[in-house]
Structure 1
């Protein structure tokens, strides 16, 4: 009887140990955690279509990859709001910060906190200046965007073979956005030789980036300036001809077109108008003959690359980089990944935007 009791006690102990062992979780591998890492995503504004798309794409793809996401928009390009949001992201323990800065030079102080907490920072589409806290930069080839816009005007006006003179006006973006410099310089690398030779003429005389900038990239600011140019230079459908308007993006292009339409321009006499982002109102204008082209930057592609960067950072490996020379933010060259932009026109919009699933046909009708 004593032997039977002892045997039962041994069996009970064995079963108890087995049960305890079965309830334990194996130690996580290096870089792994039981709880999904929180990623902070800071976008500049919801007043422009593209940033809404960028933000929603980033959030969806990061969550699909297994991360928690704190997505914030900086009001209507309000710098103090963005700074406060980033401070909160640091405080709540975000493992990586993905930031599209309102002003590329305004985040130096808040990002010192990120560096102190060893939180890597990925600059998203806009380079963050004067901060050694920036680990990586993901964007499109922004200089090439400008080159494409300049080349489109060059081809459409046949500048290589025609003597002109052709009248052109120039619009670029917010001077605080480092990308505006790349867009403008890329376009001028094509157009300036023709301006210097007199084949292209800028009747307003406004040819520097400072003179042609658009505060906050806002449509109404571009529209107001275009209205002034029309009045002061005497442009009209029946009078002084305006052959081209080089706009660095779609919000400025929309403002220029609004002003031209108000002045009586139609698809039959509209100058060549460039743009960027393939925003819905601008694609509609392209289909109506009111805008000539828009450089398409597929935000899904950029989001994919950034998610890959974040995943590599969290797991302790090196992100995919294809440029280590171009983008110096004042503290050194930032390792970057540049996605390729594509020219969108009425001839290829369906393949580029509809067939790819970026838009539905009803979005642009």
Structure 2
């Protein structure tokens, strides 16, 4: 077997190992089980089945969030190990910059574009140019809206992310047993991120009935009447600083005297960092009056906050599995094989339903950090304040 063939086989066999580990955490919302990965770690690809290689463009939104650094570097590494050339660009959360980067990749004659968009509604014209040159497009974790020129979408089950957060709150507070009232402050993600509405809807479908019954009270009044109003409490750009400022304003304005917030619905870890800083600045003390605080992504700073008692949980999306699945999809496109998807109904971008591969997320709590994050190799023990 040639060195090139050995590298391709090893890379995608490794991807299959990561994907194979997902079977134990299937989504409750999806009736059909998640599809098994197309490449099994025990299989050996025939030389004629090995990808011919080519140039793959990878567009990521920003380096300012830990998870996008992990996504970009891991996907690039998998593709390079498999014999592909790559061009990886980060756009500093600037839409115009991402459009320019995509246009440059198109001018480089990339074979495939993998795009984690900043604004999922702004890429139509540049992707039309890609389509005119027969460049296939995979939307990475964020759906690209308003265009027919997106071919596939790979993401985590984002509605399930919210469901896991909402269920955690429900169980921890004993809401199903009639406990309450508790003071809740809900947050939502960036209004220009298509995923944010799924995160919020998943959680709000569980929590809104308790708000309506009075078991959960929102003193700030920032309580969307329905899922459709989620953007009214969205934090633009997912920034910790904006979330901190917003939480501080709510605490200063609505929690005078003895009133305390009991639970904060944060859709991701970046917002949770800012919220925790606002709580600490307002005198909340871990072990005394610190509220439940949710999150998502398993970022290192947030895992350390969980260890310190400042965050109650995170919904972990193992970005290695997403990168591995996208690498497999790239390979299938290049080979001209059917591209593996497991959802062809849910993700309507306003022009078309985009064929999608969904990966289930998983709740991590302080008690499961070692098993879930260290034993899996996602973090080394020395990375965390254990």
- Asked if the contact 2:190/2:231 (under 8 Å) is kept, the reply is no
| Aligned match for 2:365, one of 326, 333, 345 | 345
1:213 aligns with 2:234: yes
| Aligned match for 2:259, one of 215, 240, 247 | 240
Q: What is the rounded CA distance, in whole Å, between the counterparts of 1:226 and 1:68 in structure 2?
A: 44
Superposed, 1:33-48 pairs within 5 Å as 33=52, 36-48=53-65
> Could you tell me which residue of structure 1 aligns to residue 299 of structure 2?
279
1:309 aligns with 2:332: no
Superposed, 1:145-224 pairs within 5 Å as 145-208=161-224, 209-224=230-245
Q: What is the rounded CA distance, in whole Å, between the counterparts of 1:160 and 1:151 in structure 2?
A: 10
Structure 1 segments, 4+ long, off by >2 Å, are: 28-33
Q: What is the rounded CA distance, in whole Å, between the counterparts of 1:334 and 1:357 in structure 2?
A: 32
1:140 aligns with 2:156: yes
- Asked if the contact 2:112/2:135 (under 8 Å) is kept, the reply is yes
Q: What is the rounded CA distance, in whole Å, between the counterparts of 2:323 and 2:165 in structure 1?
A: 24
Q: What is the rounded CA distance, in whole Å, between the counterparts of 2:371 and 2:80 in structure 1?
A: 28
What are the Cα deviations for residues 113-164 of structure 1, in whole angstroms up to 9, with x where unaligned?
0110010100000000011110000000000000000000000000011341
Q: What is the rounded CA distance, in whole Å, between the counterparts of 2:64 and 2:171 in structure 1?
A: 33
1:322 aligns with 2:342: yes
Q: What is the rounded CA distance, in whole Å, between the counterparts of 1:63 and 1:29 in structure 2?
A: 19
**RCO comparison, higher one (Cα < 8 Å, 6+):** 2
Give how far 1:253 is off: 0.6
Cα–Cα, structure 1 residues 340 and 93, in superposed 2: closer, same or farther, change >3 Å?
A: same
What are the Cα deviations for residues 287-310 of structure 1, in whole angstroms up to 9, with x where unaligned?
011100000000000001000000
> Greater CA radius of gyration, 1 or 2?
1
1:362 aligns with 2:382: yes
Cα–Cα, structure 1 residues 261 and 235, in superposed 2: closer, same or farther, change >3 Å?
A: farther
Give how far 1:210 is off: 2.4
Structure 2 unpaired stretches of 5+: 1-46, 225-229
Q: What is the rounded CA distance, in whole Å, between the counterparts of 1:267 and 1:207 in structure 2?
A: 26
| Aligned match for 2:94, one of 70, 74, 78 | 78
Q: What is the rounded CA distance, in whole Å, between the counterparts of 2:179 and 2:168 in structure 1?
A: 17
| Aligned match for 2:75, one of 30, 34, 58 | 58
| Aligned match for 2:247, one of 220, 226, 230 | 226
SS at match of 1:276: coil
- Asked if the contact 1:250/1:282 (under 8 Å) is kept, the reply is yes
Aligned length: 333
Q: What is the rounded CA distance, in whole Å, between the counterparts of 1:156 and 1:323 in structure 2?
A: 32
Give how far 1:363 is off: 1.3
- Asked if the contact 2:188/2:231 (under 8 Å) is kept, the reply is no
Q: What is the rounded CA distance, in whole Å, between the counterparts of 1:313 and 1:172 in structure 2?
A: 35
SS at match of 1:348: helix
Q: Output the aligned Cα RMSD.
A: 1.4
Give how far 1:267 is off: 1.2
Q: What is the rounded CA distance, in whole Å, between the counterparts of 1:294 and 1:32 in structure 2?
A: 37
Give how far 1:29 is off: 6.4
Q: What is the rounded CA distance, in whole Å, between the counterparts of 2:256 and 2:81 in structure 1?
A: 52
Structure 1 unpaired stretches of 5+: 1-27
> Could you tell me which residue of structure 1 aligns to residue 23 of structure 2?
none
Q: What is the rounded CA distance, in whole Å, between the counterparts of 1:206 and 1:30 in structure 2?
A: 55
Give how far 1:222 is off: 0.1
1:49 aligns with 2:66: yes
- Asked if the contact 2:294/2:314 (under 8 Å) is kept, the reply is yes
Q: What is the rounded CA distance, in whole Å, between the counterparts of 2:381 and 2:179 in structure 1?
A: 41
> Could you tell me which residue of structure 2 aligns to residue 3 of structure 1?
none
